[in-house]
DNA sequence: TAGACACGCAAGTGTCCGCTTGCCTATTAT
DNA sequence: ATAATAGGCAAGCGGACACTTGCGTGTCTA
């Protein structure tokens, strides 16, 4: 329902932030590739299912997009949702009062 | 502790985001003032203790600062932690646009 | 076709979150 | 002093979250 909540909840987990770091360093990775690089580059021993669920949340939040090709699934970072959510409080003034519903 | 996690977890709750909206519209409110305006301006019937705990988390995250005066406690928004947090994945500092041209 | 490979689904588990409830301290007013 | 005001502390509860476990589906390869 609430996309803003989904974005912040997705970013609230350190593992998911590192996943976004990895996709920033190398976009279009598969699930196994991400698992391997989380272990070798960041010392995270997260299981395949755990990483898969993290990617599902990131996808629901719109921060990761997916391209299927055969039995493989490539993940791409999408930073579009990050822009407006923080500037909500940066330009102090009418950000809260005039808006209808930006919960 | 991880300050970045605290900031995102604080922003992951809709009530806390509305509290920041309220402080953006009118800085330096007390606890009761916030409770009243959450109800009248946003239709939120959160209890005093609930809002107090929200303010505690926002304070731990560094998003709200406090000034005590007698028996009153005034809350001020602090947007300093918001800047570097999101630009972590925005390469080249393109905070606004960045349409996806992934084909 | 058999089997390895990449991934999905769903139930179970331990922990954290948001909120309530009850009682407390400190400051101000009558 | 008494009462009202403004806020704090801590235990408890229902639900959400992160992760595991086990099995199932579709795809490529030998």
pLDDT one-digit tens code per residue, B9-55: 999 999 999 999 999 999 999 999 999 999 999 999 999 999 999 99
Please tell me whether any atom of strand C lies within 7 Å of the Cβ of A36. no
pLDDT in tens, A31-82: 999 999 999 999 999 999 999 999 999 999 999 999 999 999 999 999 999 9
Look at B94 and B49; give whichever has higher pLDDT: B49
Q: What pLDDT is stored for residue B18 in this prediction?
A: 98
Distance between CA atoms of B8 and B25, rounded to whole angstroms?
21
Q: Does B82 lie at the interface with A, CB-CB under 8 angstroms?
A: yes
CB contact under 8 A, A89 and B12: no
pLDDT > 50? residue B83: yes
Domains and CATH numbers, chain A: 3-80 (1.10.10.10)
B21 contacts chain A (CB < 8 A): yes
B chain contacts of residue A85, beta-carbon cutoff 8 Å = 86
Q: So what's the pLDDT on residue A75?
A: 98
Please judge whether B82 and A86 are an interchain contact, meaning their C-beta atoms are less than 8 angstroms apart: yes
pLDDT grade for B101, boundaries at 50, 70 and 90: very low
Alpha carbon separation from A3 to A49, A56, A86, B50, B76 (Å, rounded): 24, 14, 14, 23, 27
Q: What percent of chain B has pLDDT over 70?
A: 86
Residues A50, A52, A56, A58: what is their CA dihedral angle, to the nearest 10 degrees? 80
Q: What mean pLDDT is reported for chain B?
A: 89
Distance from the B96 Cα atom to the nearest Cα atom in chain A, whole angstroms? 6
Contacts of A92 (CB under 8 A, 6+ apart): B24, B77, B79
A57 Cβ contact list (under 8 Å, min separation 6): A6, A9, A10, A16
Helix A48-60 to helix A14-25 angle (10° resolution) is 80
């Amino acid at each position: 329902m609430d996309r803003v909540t989904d974005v912040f909840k997705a970013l609230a987990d350190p593992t998911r932030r590192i996943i976004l770091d990895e996709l920033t360093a190398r976009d279009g990775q598969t699930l196994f590739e991400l698992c391997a690089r989380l272990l070798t580059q960041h010392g995270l021993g997260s299981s395949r299912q755990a990483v898969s669920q993290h990617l599902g949340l990131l996808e629901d939040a719109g921060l990761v997009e997916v391209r299927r090709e055969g039995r493989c699934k490539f993940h791409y970072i999408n930073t579009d949702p990050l822009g407006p959510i923080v500037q909500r409080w940066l330009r102090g003034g009418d950000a809260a009062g005039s808006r209808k519903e930006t919960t």
